[in-house]
Amino acid sequence: MTRAPLWTLGEIAHALGIACAADLADTAVGGISIDSRTLAPGDLFIALVGENSDGHAHVAAALAKGAAGALAHRPFDDPRVLHVADTLAGLTALGAAGRARFDGKLVAVSGSVGKTTTKEMLRTILAASGLTHAADASYNNHWGVPLTLARMPRDAAFAVIEIGMNHPGEIIPLATLARPDVAVLTTVASAHIGHMGSLEAIAREKASLYAALGADGIAIVPADAPHRDILLAGAAHAQAWLVGDADAARARFTRLRGGADGSEFAALIDGTPVAAHLHAPGGHMARNALLALAAAAALGANVVAGAAALSSFRPGAGRGAWRLLALPEGGRAVLLDESYNASSASMRAAFEVLAAVPARRRLAVLGDMRELGSFATAEHLGLAEPLTRAADLLWCCGEHMGALFDAVPQAMRGAHTPDARTLAPLLCAELRDGDAVLVKGSFGSRMRDVAAALDALAAHSHAEGVG
C-alpha cells in the first residue's frame, strides 16, 4: 500500500487559511525544509528570515532543486509559492496543524541539562513500540518546535518534542503548541542563570512545561531536582510521577553498576521490572535513561522492549561520545567529547566520568560556561574541588576559565589561553600515550574546534601508519 505523503500543498494552504492553485492542490509534499542547501526534491521550502540570512533569497534555488512549493511573505510570480503575512507565523500554524491531526502520543522534554540526550533515549525506547518521530537535532526553540511538529508523519505512534529556553516566558508558548500527553523535566540547574536571576526562577520557568498538560496528562518529575516543590506545584492539575530515590517514586533503580564504558542497571518502572545495558558512561546518563523509561511507561509503551533497545543507544556528537586517538609519536589516548555545551551540573557529571576512565593522566580541557551573568566567577570557581579530584591537568580557555585555572593547584595547570583556537595546538603537542582527555565547554566557547583538532591529529597519525 502506498504511504500517504507528509502533506499536500492543498492541505498546507487549508491549514494556513490561504489560497492554492487548484491544479497544485494535490501536489505531494514529502518534507518541510528551511535550508535550501539540504532540501530534498518534493519538500516545501519555508523562507524564514533570521538575523544573518533571509530565506526569500533562496526560494528560486529551492524550486529549481525540485521543491514541491515554497512559503513566503514576499511576492513571487510562481503558483508554487504560497503567500502568507509572515513565514514564521505560517510555520507555527503548520506545526499546530500537524499536532491537531496527530492521533498518537506526544512527550515533551525540557530541563537545564540532558534534554537532547533524553530525547534521543526516548526515541530509541519508543521505537521498540511503534513509529516514533523526533527531530534529528536540538530543534527546541521558537522555530524548531513548530518545524518538528510540521514534520510529524501522520501515521506516527509517538512523537518526542524537545523544548528549551534562555529567558523567562519562553517555555509556555512552545509547550502549549506541542500539547504534550506526558512532560519530562530532566533537572533544574544553573544553566542560563544570568538571564533568569536565580535557581528558583529557573525552576518556575521549567515547571511551566507542566502547565500545558491536560488533567489526564502525566508529569515526570525528577525526585532529586532542586526546588522539587515548585515542580510538583506546577503539575498539581495533572498526575505527577516522581522518578528516582523517593518513597513514592513510580520509577527507581533496583541495581546500578557503572564503569568507564557505560552502565548496566535494573529498574522498576511503574511496577514493571526492566533491565538495560547503556553504552554511555556516567551516572547522569543512567538517570536520564530512567526518566525516559518512566515517560515511555506513562505513554503506554512497552518498557521491557524499550529498556532492551537502549543497548543500541550511543551519545551524540559532542554529548559524551568517546573514542581512541592514535598519536603521532605512537600510542593512544582516549577522547571524551563533551564539546557541544556545558553548565556547572554537566561539568561535574563529566568530571565523574573522566575520573572513572583508566588512564596514566587525566586531562580536563575546558572552555567558558556562558550565560551566567554576575554568577560567572562563582560558578567557575565552584568547579575547582570536583575537578581537582577527577583530573591531573587542566587546559582551558576563555575569560571565566582563568579564575578556575588560578584556583587549582600549580601542578595541575597545563595552559590557559584566550580561546579554543589558541588552545588546540598546545594541547595537541602535549598529548601522551595513555592519556584520557575530556573536552567540554559552552557552545559559544567553540570547544568543538579542540575536539576536531584532536581528531585531525589522530587522522594524520593513522595516515602515517602510527599506532
- 83 and 119 assigned to the same domain: no
Domain-located, residue 1:
no
Task: List the binding residues for ATP.
Answer: 111-117
φ, ψ dihedrals at 146, nearest 5°: -65, -35
pLDDT digits (tens, 9 = 90+) for 74-100: 999 999 999 999 999 999 999 999 999
pLDDT at 458 over 90: no
- 264 and 144 assigned to the same domain: yes
Helix (H) or strand (E) holding 252: strand 251-259
pLDDT band at 466 (very low <50, low <70, confident <90, very high): very low
pLDDT at 197 over 90: no
- Residue 1 has a pLDDT of 58
Q: Name the pTM for this structure.
A: 0.91
Give me the residues paired with residue 35 across strands.
Answer: none
- 137 and 204 assigned to the same domain: yes
Residue at a domain's end among 293, 312, 331: 312
pLDDT band at 328 (very low <50, low <70, confident <90, very high): confident
Grid cell, residue 183, equals 512532560
pLDDT at 192 over 90: no
- 416 and 334 assigned to the same domain: yes
Domain-located, residue 16:
yes
Q: Percent of the chain scored above 90 by pLDDT?
A: 88
Residue at a domain's end among 93, 110, 140: 93
- 204 and 72 assigned to the same domain: no
pLDDT digits (tens, 9 = 90+) for 112-168: 899 999 999 999 999 999 999 999 988 999 999 999 999 999 999 999 999 999 889
Domain-located, residue 13:
yes
- 227 and 113 assigned to the same domain: yes
Across 124-138, 366-380, 447-461, least confident range: 447-461
- 185 and 279 assigned to the same domain: yes
> 282 in the Ramachandran plot: left (φ > 0), alpha (ψ -120 to 50) or beta?
left
- 417 and 440 assigned to the same domain: yes
Place of cell 551540573: 345
Q: Supply the angle between the helices 87-100 and 171-178 in degrees, to the nearest 10.
A: 40
Residue 398's CATH number: 3.90.190.20
24-30 long-range contacts, CB within 8 A, separation 24+: 24/69, 24/79, 24/80, 27/68, 27/69, 27/80, 28/68, 29/5, 29/68, 29/69, 30/5, 30/6, 30/68
Residue at a domain's end among 269, 288, 312: 312
Query: Domain range holding 46?
Result: 7-93
- Residue 460 has a pLDDT of 52
Q: CB–CB of 441/318 below 8 Å? A: no
Q: Looking at this protein, which amino acid is placed at residue 33? A: S
Domain-located, residue 238:
yes
- 148 and 290 assigned to the same domain: yes
Place of cell 496528562: 217
Task: List the binding residues.
Answer: 111-117
Domain-located, residue 185:
yes
Q: CB–CB of 142/341 below 8 Å? A: no
Domain-located, residue 2:
no
Domain-located, residue 69:
yes
Q: Percent of the chain scored above 70 by pLDDT?
A: 98
- 30 and 120 assigned to the same domain: no
Give me the residues paired with residue 95 across strands.
Answer: none
Residue 33's CATH number: 3.40.1390.10
Burial of 288-309, coded b for 16+ CB within 10 Å and e otherwise, reads: bbbbbbbbbbbbebbbbebbbb
Residue 128's CATH number: 3.40.1190.10
- Residue 462 has a pLDDT of 45
Across 126-135, 317-326, 333-342, 404-413, least confident range: 317-326
Distance CA 365, CA 425 (A): 12
- 332 and 296 assigned to the same domain: no
- 247 and 304 assigned to the same domain: yes
Residues with Cβ within 8 Å of residue 385, at least 6 apart in sequence:
none
- Residue 3 has a pLDDT of 78
Strands 321-326 vs 272-278: parallel, antiparallel or unpaired:
unpaired
Tell me how far the alpha carbon of residue 36 is from its chain's centroid: 24
Count of other CB atoms within 10 angstroms of residue 348: 17
- Residue 166 has a pLDDT of 85
pLDDT mean across residues, the chain: 94
| Number of structural domains in the chain | 3
